Structure formats: C-alpha cells, structure tokens
C-alpha cells in the first residue's frame, strides 16, 4: 500500500500548474471531481448504442427521501410529478439533458441538474424567472 506523504504533497504542489492545465479547454482544471473523464460513457456516444441508465430499484431507493425533499420544494406537487417521471424513465431524462450538457462541456448529469435547480430557485425567489401556468389555452 502506497502512502501519500509530505514528499508527494510537495511534488503535487510543484507540478500542479502543469498537471492541471488543459489545452483543449484553454485553462486550468483543478481536479477530476467525479470521475467523468474516466467514464466509459460519453456525451457524444452514438445513439444506436444506447446505454440504459437506472433500474427498477431506483423508485424504492429514492422513495425513502422523496417526501422530505418534496416538502422543501417550492411546489411539492410539481416536484413529485417530475420525480415519478424520472425514476420510471431515467435514461430518457438523461437523453433530454445531454444536448445542453454537450453545449456546456459538462459530463455530470446530477451536477448539471443541481446547478439548474439552484439558479432557477434563486431567480424565481428574486422575481426574475416567473412561474408558468401549466394549463393549455
């Protein structure tokens, strides 16, 4: 078993700039946060080779926390409708957001969704983004 000691930390600090620079992105990348760069799945994978994400255990796994999370949402009923759709078809939901993820160059669907949620929540609370009527005219 290898140790990550003082010498390894000094080496990391000395080589940080070189190790974290990305010519493709034109800037610094601090750390590979969630393993997205090492993932076997890609944002640009051919649709004919669909990857099915999620499985039937997802509703049971998420169900234990759904009511608490729904209570914290601005519109608990809307939250529950979306959760019910996502847990039954997670692959389709990921496919819906992949174009936006490609556009931004991010590979973590959960971080993408969390950022959208956070920004829209603040924007809605500030009166910048309206709440839309969902009834058809």
Read off the pLDDT of each residue in 9-16 and give the average, rounded to a whole number.
Answer: 66
Q: What is the pLDDT at residue 86?
A: 84
In a domain, 98, yes or no: yes
Predicted TM-score (pTM) of this structure? 0.62
Q: For tokens 């993820």, what's the residue?
A: 101
In a domain, 106, yes or no: yes
- Identify the H or E element spanning 14: helix 6-14
In a domain, 134, yes or no: no
Are 54 and 48 in contact by the 8 Å Cβ rule? The answer is no
Q: What is the pLDDT at residue 48?
A: 41
In a domain, 7, yes or no: no
Supply the range of the domain harboring residue 59.
46-125
| Alpha-carbon gap, residue 99 to 92, rounded angstroms | 12
In a domain, 86, yes or no: yes
In a domain, 30, yes or no: no
Helix axes 90-104, 76-88, angle to 10 degrees: 100
- Greater model confidence, 18 or 1: 18
| Alpha-carbon gap, residue 29 to 33, rounded angstroms | 10
The conformation of residue 133, written as its DSSP 8-state character, comes to P
Q: Is residue 71 predicted with pLDDT exceeding 90?
A: yes
Q: What is the pLDDT at residue 70?
A: 92
In a domain, 91, yes or no: yes
Domain count, the chain: 1
Q: Is residue 77 predicted with pLDDT exceeding 90?
A: yes
Q: Of 38-42, 95-99, 119-123, which gets the smallest average pLDDT?
A: 38-42
In a domain, 79, yes or no: yes
Distances (CA, A) of 127 to 37, 120, 131, 132: 37, 10, 9, 12
């Amino acid at each position: 078993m290898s140790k990550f000691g003082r010498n390894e930390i000094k080496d990391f600090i000395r080589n940080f700039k070189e190790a974290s620079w990305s010519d493709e992105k034109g800037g610094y990348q601090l750390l590979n946060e969630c393993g997205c760069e090492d993932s076997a799945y890609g944002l640009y994978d051919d649709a004919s080779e669909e990857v099915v994400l999620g499985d039937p255990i997802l509703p049971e796994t998420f169900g234990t926390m759904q009511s608490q999370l729904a209570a914290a949402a601005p519109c608990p009923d809307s939250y529950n409708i979306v959760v019910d759709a996502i847990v039954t078809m997670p692959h389709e939901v990921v496919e819906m957001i992949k174009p936006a993820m490609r556009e931004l160059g991010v590979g973590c669907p959960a971080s993408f969704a969390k950022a959208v949620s956070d920004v829209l929540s603040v924007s809605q609370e500030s009166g910048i983004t309206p709440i839309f009527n969902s009834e058809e005219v």
